Amino acid sequence: MINRRSVLRTGGVAAAGALGAAALASTADAATATHTSHHHHQGDPDPTGGVTRTLLQEHPSPAKGWNAVQTLVEIPRRKESGRHSHPGVEVGYIVRGDVVMEFDDRPSLRLRTGDPFFIPSGAIHNARNVGKVTTMMLSTYVVDETQPLVTTY
């Protein structure tokens, strides 16, 4: 049984690390990643500090070998999730806040409270809080159960 209130994180990067076979990859390199977008907050020694991903639920998907995982991601003001990808799709909703979702392979998206979003499998992205409050995002993933939920870059 998963404690839905447990906050699971590794280092300064949000991480849902206790997901059984979908355990997270190491996030140690996230803070020292050499690639930064032109929007990166220069001079912030810990751009992902305080970011959390709370595991709400995890269930086997009807598709064999896949899991459905739901999390609540919180990103403090002027912080970001860090560049990462997932081994499946992410379907999300901005519960509160204002973010720019940056992608390596497509234009950025500005998302505000009430906006839905979809991130394709394997797409490298970074959610950057550009608002005045801690952003809260509800994210549901359908992911390969043999892979880490999050791979950081």
| Residue 32: partners with Cβ closer than 8 Å, 6 or more residues away | none
Contact 84, 145 (CB under 8 A): no
Name residue 59's beta-bridge partners.
Answer: 68
Given a contact cutoff of 8 angstroms between Cβ atoms, the answer to whether 82 and 102 are in contact is no
List the chain residues with pLDDT less than 70. 1-43
- The closest alpha carbon to 64, from 2, 145, 147, belongs to 145
Q: In this predicted model, what pLDDT tens digit does every residue of 8-29 receive, in sequence order?
A: 433 333 333 333 323 333 232 3
What is residue 45's predicted lDDT score, i.e. its pLDDT? 85
The CATH architecture that domain 7-27+49-152 belongs to is Sandwich (2.60)
The model's pTM is 0.73
